[in-house]
Amino acid sequence: MTSDPSATSDPSTTSDPVDDPTDQAATDADAATPDPEDVISPDPLTIELPDGTESVSEAILSNRQMLIDPDESAMASETEVVELTDWVEELAGTIADVEQHQTETIEAEVTDLEAVIEEQRRQIEELRGAVESLADILGTTADWETFDE
C-alpha cells in the first residue's frame, strides 16, 4: 500500500504548492485576473479627420500635401516662421528698452520729488523756529501738530 503524502494530516509531509502544477496554475490564474474594480476601461482612440477627408489614408495624403506646399493650405512657411520669430524677438527687445527707459524716468522723478520734500521739510523747520522765536518774544508758547509718516 502506497501512501499519498498529501492525504496525511502531518503538515511536514504535504507537498509544496509551488511544486504542484495544478496549484501553480490556479495561483497564476488568480494573479493574472485583476479585480473588476481595479480595471480601468480605456476610451477608444479617436482621431478627427480633416474637413473634406473620408478616410485615414486620404487624411495622411492631405496632410502631406499641406506640408509640401504650405502656401496653398494657408499654413506658414518656414521663412515666414523665421521672419515672425525674428520680429517677435526684436519687439521683445524694444519693449525691454522702453521699460528700461520708463523705469529710469520714474526713478529720476522720484529722486526729484524726494529732493523737493526734503527742501519743504527744511523750510518748515525754519518757519517753526521763527514762530517759536516770535512766541518767546511775545511771552507765549506755540503748540505744533505734526503728521509723521
Digit-coded pLDDT (tens) for 98-112: 999 999 999 999 999
Residue 1 — pLDDT band, cuts 50, 70, 90?
A: very low
The pLDDT of residue 57 is above 70 = yes
CA distance 93 to 86: 11
C-beta separation of 13 from 4 below 8 A: no
Sign of the Cα pseudo-torsion (78, 80, 85, 89, in order): positive
Cell numbers of 87, please? Answer: 520680429
CA distance 10 to 3: 13
Confidence (pLDDT) at 43: 75
Digit-coded pLDDT (tens) for 61-83: 887 887 787 777 777 778 888 99
Q: How many helices (H) and strands (E) does the chain have?
A: 3, 0
CA distance 146 to 131: 15
Digit-coded pLDDT (tens) for 4-45: 544 445 555 555 555 555 555 555 555 556 565 666 667 776
